[in-house]
């Protein structure tokens, strides 16, 4: 099941990276727990992120995610504490 999930998650990368305000968008897979995936995303603004979450391909994934995962996703919102490199 985790390989199917990885394939599904990777379909989100290209269209997301083309979105306005997407500065970084990466999918990671844990080396030791192959069932654990982490998205690392950096958005120019909160509004750009909110627009991303409304995109049809994201809404589609959110609706069918339980076909791939048990339980639900854990989302952590971070603020950058260090300065951004120039």
> Which residues are CB-contacts of 1 (< 8 A; sequence separation ≥ 6)?
35, 68
- 80 falls within a domain: no
CA dist., res. 19 & res. 57, Å (int): 12
Q: What is the CATH number of the domain that holds 30?
A: 3.30.70.100
Structural domain tally of the chain? Answer: 1
Q: What is the pLDDT of residue 14?
A: 98
pTM for this structure? 0.85
CA dist., res. 73 & res. 58, Å (int): 14
- 76, 68, 71, 64 alpha-carbon torsion, rounded to 10°: 80
Domain range holding 11? 2-67
- 77 falls within a domain: no
- 28 falls within a domain: yes
Q: What is the pLDDT of residues 6-53, one digit of tens each?
A: 999 999 999 999 999 999 999 999 999 999 999 999 999 999 999 999
- 62 falls within a domain: yes
Range list of β-strands (E), the chain = 22-29, 37-43
């Amino acid at each position: 099941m985790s390989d199917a999930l990885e394939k599904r998650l990777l379909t989100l990368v290209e269209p997301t990276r083309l979105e306005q305000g997407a500065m970084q968008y990466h999918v990671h897979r844990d080396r030791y727990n192959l069932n654990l995936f982490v998205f690392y995303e950096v958005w120019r603004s909160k509004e750009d992120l909110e627009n991303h979450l409304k995109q049809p391909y994201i809404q589609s994934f959110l609706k069918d995610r339980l076909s791939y995962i048990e339980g639900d996703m854990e989302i952590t919102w971070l603020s950058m504490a260090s300065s951004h490199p120039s």
